[in-house]
Amino acid sequence: MDPLPLVDQHCHGVLRDGPHDRAGFEALLTESHAPPAPGTSFFDTQLGFAVRRWCAPVLGLEPHCAPEAYLDRRSALGTPEVTRRLLRAARVRTFLVDTGLPGDLLAPEELAAAGGGTAREIVRLEPLAERAAAGARGADAFLAALGAAIGTAAGTAAAFKSVAAYRYGLDLDPRPPAPAELWTAATRWLASGRTGRLTDPVLLRHLMWSAARTGLPLQVHTGFGDPDLRLHRADPLLLTDFLRAVEPTGCRVVLLHGYPFHRNAGYLAAVHPHVYADVGLTLGHTGARAEAVLSEMLELAPFGKLLFSTDAHGLPELYLTGAQLFRQAMARLSTRFTGDGSWSRADADRVAALLAAGNARRLYGLDD
Amino acid sequence: MDPLPLVDQHCHGVLRDGPHDRAGFEALLTESHAPPAPGTSFFDTQLGFAVRRWCAPVLGLEPHCAPEAYLDRRSALGTPEVTRRLLRAARVRTFLVDTGLPGDLLAPEELAAAGGGTAREIVRLEPLAERAAAGARGADAFLAALGAAIGTAAGTAAAFKSVAAYRYGLDLDPRPPAPAELWTAATRWLASGRTGRLTDPVLLRHLMWSAARTGLPLQVHTGFGDPDLRLHRADPLLLTDFLRAVEPTGCRVVLLHGYPFHRNAGYLAAVHPHVYADVGLTLGHTGARAEAVLSEMLELAPFGKLLFSTDAHGLPELYLTGAQLFRQAMARLSTRFTGDGSWSRADADRVAALLAAGNARRLYGLDD
Amino acid sequence: MDPLPLVDQHCHGVLRDGPHDRAGFEALLTESHAPPAPGTSFFDTQLGFAVRRWCAPVLGLEPHCAPEAYLDRRSALGTPEVTRRLLRAARVRTFLVDTGLPGDLLAPEELAAAGGGTAREIVRLEPLAERAAAGARGADAFLAALGAAIGTAAGTAAAFKSVAAYRYGLDLDPRPPAPAELWTAATRWLASGRTGRLTDPVLLRHLMWSAARTGLPLQVHTGFGDPDLRLHRADPLLLTDFLRAVEPTGCRVVLLHGYPFHRNAGYLAAVHPHVYADVGLTLGHTGARAEAVLSEMLELAPFGKLLFSTDAHGLPELYLTGAQLFRQAMARLSTRFTGDGSWSRADADRVAALLAAGNARRLYGLDD
């Protein structure tokens, strides 16, 4: 049987070239910013084991071969061939690519070409603001340029994305900033030299509200990620009042990742018609536990509200592991739930297709 | 073997007539207040699948028949027959019914008659206060009327129930309000027109303390429910200081539902002799995952402290799914735990009987 | 095959004599300070069932024999024989013993002798401060004596331990106290009579920072424990800013127990090179669920960062149940993960050995 066709509703580019050594590869296997602790390796994680299990055969090696053998083979094949093989094996049909990360990464269309699919862009809000600020004279000009940039992006993007969880926390004031508050915050930020990353909570709220008003879906990072965030301030429940406030705009909000608060995200998707939840980073990083974690996501989240993604970044391995772990987890829980009579087989297949692609197609208005 | 006889220690009435269309039925399958998102259905949830699996055969249909076929059959049979069939199949022997919800619902004795069991009442505190306020002239009269109403209710009720989690959050000041603070709050509320729901935290605390002093068990809503609540403010751990403060009164507190904080509720039941935990809403809404979730509840909660309930409301389907999912989950985890030698079969049977009915009989002083 | 040799990286002494009755035994089966609720028993818990399953055969009884039979046999054998049998059966090779608990407990070397292993000491910080305060005249003398005591302890201890979670909560100011702030806090505490337990948050922070600067690992209680703590203030995520601040000292931090926040602890271990997570109290208390809970710990925690311990205290039964539940859980999840191809058998064995002993040997510099 054909593997489930996938829409990867949240992902990133992979390195055009590299990584060139084990340290560089390990750095992309983890959300940590630091080298592994002395005596340890990031290959010794669920994700590291999953890479050796799923990717080694695609490069012509035995599953679970030694990390050095894997990296040697990777070097011998070269980045473009490795990327092509792993992306093709992932069988992602549509890539929704957040282009807001730095580095020499494949652009969405290059990624799609390598993977044999199509791509649409997800526009990350904070870099839009950082770019608008770079050239602007004064708050009025900055805010006007930002508004124009959001409007332009809305014409082509599939969705917007906020990383307010990293920059401040989700315990933001839920309301749209009042004009004077916004103007003051913009002035303060510009006066500060605007060289750093945008972390002002008023401006972060303004970005979320501006995106919400475009009518495009708004993806919001929630749950785990790199150590820039304070995880307890990335619980999606902290968005409750924002979700209530934004509902009248018609904005649909997608709660990315969620782990270890994925049950909380499922609850929000269950009780708010405009809220969706995402698989994201979670299945790849939990590896052999993917079925268990996906099962938890499927407790309260309506089956029409949960979306597949890989959140892959840097390494094409993350596309293949994310895709295969999702397919395997979905197949296993379907077997489990149908085996005991809880679900019918027809329903299980329908739910799998919704999570894999159907929900994303409906939400983002993608052609089949 | 006879199915495990059950005491449903927290439930509500079902509709006397209806629902009359698919939208009405779906609205009672969810905790959401809104229609399903475009392109989705509340039948596509663990609860929706569980209804088709468990209830369809009782109405003479195949398990997992299409929702429309199910609803057509339901209409053809009529509400009284559907209610009778589903309630009888649930085999609940004793219903402890929270009568504080609006709507044309069967009264406890009608419910019991339809189900072939007996009923006792759980008195919800907030409506008692709202009714006492409606007729009172001034704070003193209101507080006196409220005290009298609580005293009267204590004469017949099996327990009291607080929905402070919905009305304010569980992060209440744990202490009983001082007389002046209470009088001021009462005056303020009466002056406000008292037409809305009681949300004043001082009065909510007063209700909880007043109930505690009657000697009856106090059920407290914790964890998920409808979107009136901010779920992060419904974590039972937020009650820690209240639980400590109330212990000297002799009050026993039952933490309802708990999910996704059910492990936290289990901890509180483990370390506080007067605290109990409840299965509640959780098993019905997590459906095929009921065994997994019940297993989590049974990690820290002493087996003499966890109680079965359905929290069924509106649809008799919720009685049958809640009861059957509990029985099945309990049977499966018993098989799992005895199969690997962790538990003896005799212990497993004893634990199942405690959760099903024994703990509730002891706590509420019910006759066998 | 030989059972996995273990380093118990966090444990306590057991009673030299006793307990002498059922109430005394039950009191050590629970984290509660109170007797069981009327009609219930602490034997009716996962831990109680695990004791009957694992310990009864070592005392020559059938698994799951009645509690009274177990206690009778225990009395007949006498404490030293029971201790010797249970500790030997646990096959712990190295005990890292927190000696900060009161009572007539076996000292580390006695424990090691009974168990056939070796011992090192973990020095609990708060009692060090309480002893330094008892003899000191004025804040300067107290702080000097405390500094000297920490320095002396660092010469022999394997690690320090903080119970700030019990004494205040983990939501402490993350910074080292400024000298004036520290002096004021010390003066205030001494003036208060210093008879109670140390609960001043400034002094608790000072202890953690003082220990961090010795270069020894710092164990921090997180997650559940006795009802002195407010569990929501024991979430390891609340340490995020402290972990960031302390990293430059080179201090390695071990997050003990963690449950029900063990996934949060795994995240911190994943993204901070100097942070480790612990199994602790959790597996013994969750009993038949130990595999499920250990699997959750192994979702994000790098396999080189998770450490076995029992947190046994008072009863030698807690050593045997903690050790056997860990071995069984590890064996089962290895079978599960290798059975479906997610892990290789060689990797599974390596991971088991790391958690059992290897990670602790590396972290604490123990000889093999």
- The reply to whether C49 touches chain B by the CB within 8 Å rule is yes
- Asked if B8 and B309 touch (Cβ cutoff 8 Å), the reply is yes
- pLDDT value at A75 more than 90: yes
Least confident window among A32-36, A39-43, B120-124, C133-137: C133-137
Looking at residues A172-184, what average pLDDT do you find? 98
Kindly state the percentage of chain C with pLDDT values over 70. Answer: 99
Q: How far is CA C252 from CA A164, B247, C273, C362, in A?
A: 30, 40, 8, 12
For an interface test with C, which of B267, B268, B332, B340 has the most C Cβ atoms less than 10 Å from its Cβ? Answer: B267
Per-residue pLDDT tens over the stretch B312-355? 999 999 999 999 999 999 999 999 999 999 999 999 999 999 99
The domain tally of chain A equals 1
Question: In Å, how far is A284's CA from the nearest CA of chain C?
Answer: 10
**Rounded CA gap, B13 and B315, in Å?**
8
CA distances from A190 to A202, A338, B228 (A): 13, 58, 40
Distance (Å) from the alpha carbon of B245 to chain C's nearest alpha carbon: 13
What's the rounded Cα separation, in Å, for the pair B366 and A181? 60
Asked if pLDDT for residue B168 goes beyond 90, the answer is yes
Q: How far apart are CA A321 and CA C289, in angstroms?
A: 28
- Residue A258: count other Cβ atoms within 10 Å of its Cβ: 30
**Edge to edge, what strands does the sheet with A6-11 contain?**
A6-11, A92-98, A118-124, A159-162, A218-222, A253-257, A275-278, A306-307
Tokens at residue A178, please?
A: 């009042």
Q: What single-letter DSSP state applies at residue B102?
A: -
CATH no. for residue A292? 3.20.20.140
A248 touches chain B (CB under 8 A): no
Residue C233: name the closest of C338, C163, C179 by CA. C163
Please tell me the distance from the alpha carbon of residue B298 to that of residue B281, in angstroms, as a whole number. Answer: 16
Q: Residue A367: which pLDDT band, with cuts at 50, 70 and 90?
A: confident
CB B224 within 8 A of CB B284: no
Beginning with the edge strand found earlier in the chain, give each strand of the sheet holding B92-98 in spatial order: B6-11, B92-98, B118-124, B159-162, B218-222, B253-257, B275-278, B306-307
Name the phi and psi angles at A119, rounded to 5.
-135, 150
C248 pLDDT above the threshold of 70:
yes
CA C146/CA C131 separation, integer angstroms:
8
User: Which residues in chain C are contacts of B252 at CB distance < 8 A?
Assistant: 37
Domain assignment present for residue A53? The answer is yes
- C341 to A41: CB separation less than 8 angstroms, yes or no: no
* Tokens describing residue A132: 């608008």
Which of C270, C298, C341 is the closest to A32 by Cβ? C270
Inter-CA distances, B202 with B126, B137, B139, Å: 12, 19, 13
Angle at C218 between CA C217 and CA C220, to 5 degrees: 145
Subunit contact A273:B46, Cβ cutoff 8 A: no
What pLDDT does residue B196 have? 76
Q: H-helix or E-strand containing A220?
A: strand A218-222
- Say yes or no to pLDDT of C299 above 70: yes
Residues of B in contact with C259 (CB under 8 A): 263
* Minimal CA separation from B345 to chain A, in Å: 22
Q: Which H or E element spans position B254?
A: strand B253-257
Helix, strand counts (H, E) of chain A: 17, 8
Please determine, for residue C57, whether its predicted confidence score (pLDDT) is greater than 90.
Answer: yes
Quick check: C308 and C360 in contact, CB under 8 A? yes
User: Distance between CA A93 and CA A253 in Å, rounded?
Assistant: 23
Question: How many whole angstroms separate alpha carbon A47 and alpha carbon A31?
Answer: 11
Query: What was the pLDDT predicted at B367?
Result: 82
A45 and C303 within 8 Å at the Cβ level: the answer is: yes
Copy the structure tokens of residue C246.
């302390």
CA-based nearest residue in chain A for residue B286: A299
Average pLDDT over residues A137-144: 96
Chain-centroid distance, C-alpha B126: 15
Give B203-219 pLDDT, tens digit per residue: 999 999 999 999 999 99
The mean of the pLDDT values for chain B is: 97
Residue A53: the pLDDT is 98
Q: What is the pTM of this model?
A: 0.98
Using the structure block, give the residue that is written with the tokens 């969880």. Answer: A165
pLDDT beyond 80 at A195: no
Q: Residue B4: its pLDDT value, please? A: 83
Q: Tokens representing B232?
A: 């992060």
Distance between first and last Cα of chain C:
19
Give the pLDDT score at C4: 83
Neighbours of B309 (CB within 10 A): 29
Angle at B316 between CA B42 and CA B129, to 5 degrees: 95
Q: Is A286's Cβ below 8 Å from some Cβ in C?
A: yes
Distance from CA of C333 to the nearest CA of A (A): 10
Query: What average pLDDT does range B98-104 have in this prediction?
Result: 95
Find the length of chain A: 368
Q: Which residue's structure tokens are 């602890």?
A: C265
If pLDDT is split at 50, 70 and 90, which confidence band does A368 have?
Answer: low
Of A263, A271, A274, the CB nearest to B260: A263
Min Cα separation A30/chain B (Å): 27
Q: Do A288 and C337 touch (CB under 8 A)?
A: yes
Tell me what pLDDT residue C367 has. Answer: 82
Written as six digits, the tokens of A173 are: 């004031």
Asked if residue C236 has a cis previous peptide bond (ω within 30° of 0), the answer is no
| Partner C contacted by B209 (CB < 8 A) | no
C-alpha torsion C187→C193→C198→C204, nearest 10: 0
B286 to A300: CB separation less than 8 angstroms, yes or no: yes
Testing the interface with C: which of A44, A61, A281 to mutate, by most C Cβ within 10 A? A44
Which residue in A139, A140, A99 sits closest to A123, CA to CA?
Answer: A99
> Which pLDDT band, with edges at 50, 70 and 90, does C2 fall under?
low
Q: Which residues of C120-133 are buried (b: 16+ CB within 10 A; e: fewer)?
A: bbbbbbbbbbbebb
Q: Is C133 helix (H, G, I), strand (E, B) or coil?
A: helix
What residues contact A66, with CB distance under 8 A and at least 6 apart?
Answer: none
The percent of residues above 90 in pLDDT, for chain C, comes to 95
Residue that is written with structure tokens 């989240």 in the block: A301
The pLDDT assigned to C196 comes to 76
- Please, what's the b/e burial string for C3-12 (b: 16 or more CB within 10 A of its CB; e: otherwise)? ebebbbbbbb
3-class SS letters over chain C: CCCCCEEEEEECCEECCCCCCHHHHHHCCCCCCCCCCCCCCCCCCHHHHHHHHHCCHHHCCCCCCCHHHHHHHHHHHCHHHHHHHHHHHHCEEEEEEECCCCCCECCHHHHHHHHCCEEEEEEEHHHHHHHHHHCCCHHHHHHHHHHHHHHHHHCCCCEEEECHHHHCCCCCCCCCCCHHHHHHHHHHHHHCCCCCCCCCHHHHHHHHHHHHCCCCCEEEEECCCCCCCCHHHCCHHHHHHHHHHHHHHCCCEEEEECCCCHHHHHHHHHHCCCEEEECCHHHHHHHHHHHHHHHHHHHHCCCCCEECCCCCCECCHHHHHHHHHHHHHHHHHHHHHHHCCCCCHHHHHHHHHHHHHHHHHHHHCCCC
Percent of chain B with pLDDT over 70: 99
- Judged by DSSP in three states, C121 sits in strand
Q: How confident is the model over A339-345, as a mean pLDDT?
A: 97
Using CA atoms, how far apart are residues A138 and A191, in angstroms rounded to an integer? 9
**What is the per-residue pLDDT across B152-167, written as a single tens digit (0 to 9) for each?**
999 999 999 999 999 9
* Coil/strand/helix, residue B43: coil
Q: Taking CB atoms and an 8 Å cutoff, what residues of chain C touch A331?
A: none
Structural domain includes residue B1: no
Q: What pLDDT, in 10s, does the model give residues B5-62?
A: 899 999 999 999 999 999 999 999 999 999 999 999 999 999 999 999 999 999 999 9
The pLDDT of residue B195 is: 67
Q: List the beta strands (DSSP E) in A44-117.
A: 92-98
Q: What is the percent of chain A with per-residue pLDDT over 70, rounded to a whole number?
A: 99
ipTM over 0.95: yes
C166 confidence band (pLDDT: 50, 70, 90): very high
Asked if the structure places residue C296 within a domain, the reply is: yes
Q: What are phi and psi of A168, to 5 degrees?
A: -145, -55
Please tell me the predicted confidence (pLDDT) of residue B74: 98
Which element (helix H / strand E) includes B179? helix B179-191
In a domain, A260, yes or no: yes
What's chain C's average pLDDT?
Answer: 97
Strands (E), B291-334: 306-307
Rounded to whole angstroms, what are the CA distances from B137 to B158, B188, B205, B280?
Answer: 30, 13, 22, 38
What residue numbers bound the domain in which B338 lies?
A: 6-364
Q: Which residue has the tokens 């009572």?
A: C103
